[in-house]
């Protein structure tokens, strides 16, 4: 009976370690999404497995860039600086959304693997405990 208990504990530990390792391999880093989105339009969204959002931002940036290049300076909306401002805000939104999308992806992977993370603050001592639980 004791051997069966030890085998069961060992199997649970092996499964838990496997899940943590699988999560570590699959998770996406927000810093990578930041660099990719900054360098190449939509690359951060493709990295975060959100290609539709990436295509939407890319089309938006192309349209705004075209409007900026072809501005005539006759009207307030034909001023290239206004379109440059719109393009800048769109680029910032794309970068932030790509970084946030990596968090969404990581939460989805944790849920699929059955990993739950909890943070426990310890008032008696300085420190932070992070615990993992599995289904």
46-63 confidence digits (pLDDT tens)? 999 999 999 999 999 998
Length of the chain counted residue by residue: 135
pTM for this structure? Answer: 0.71
Position 95 pLDDT exceeds 70: yes
CA 75 to chain centre: 39
Question: Alpha-carbon distance 29 to 24, whole Å?
Answer: 10
Predicted confidence at residue 120, as pLDDT, reads: 60
Question: Alpha-carbon distance 135 to 3, whole Å?
Answer: 23
Name the H helices within 2-131: 2-26, 30-39, 43-47, 51-69, 80-113
Domain borders along the chain are 2-134
Task: Categorize the per-residue pLDDT at 69 as very low, low, confident or very high, splitting at 50, 70 and 90.
Answer: confident
| More confident site: 16 or 64 | 64
């Amino acid at each position: 009976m004791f051997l069966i208990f030890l085998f069961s504990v060992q199997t649970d530990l092996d499964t838990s370690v496997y899940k943590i390792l699988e999560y570590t391999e699959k998770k996406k880093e927000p810093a990578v999404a930041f660099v990719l989105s900054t360098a190449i339009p939509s690359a951060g969204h493709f990295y975060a497995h959100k290609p539709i959002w990436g295509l939407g931002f890319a089309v938006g940036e192309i349209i705004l860039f075209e409007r900026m290049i072809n501005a005539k300076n006759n009207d307030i909306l034909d001023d290239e600086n206004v379109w440059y401002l719109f393009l800048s805000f769109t680029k910032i939104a794309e970068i932030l959304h790509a970084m946030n999308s990596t968090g969404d992806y990581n939460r989805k992977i944790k849920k699929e693997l059955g990993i739950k993370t909890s943070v426990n603050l310890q008032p008696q001592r300085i420190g932070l405990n992070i615990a993992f639980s599995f289904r």
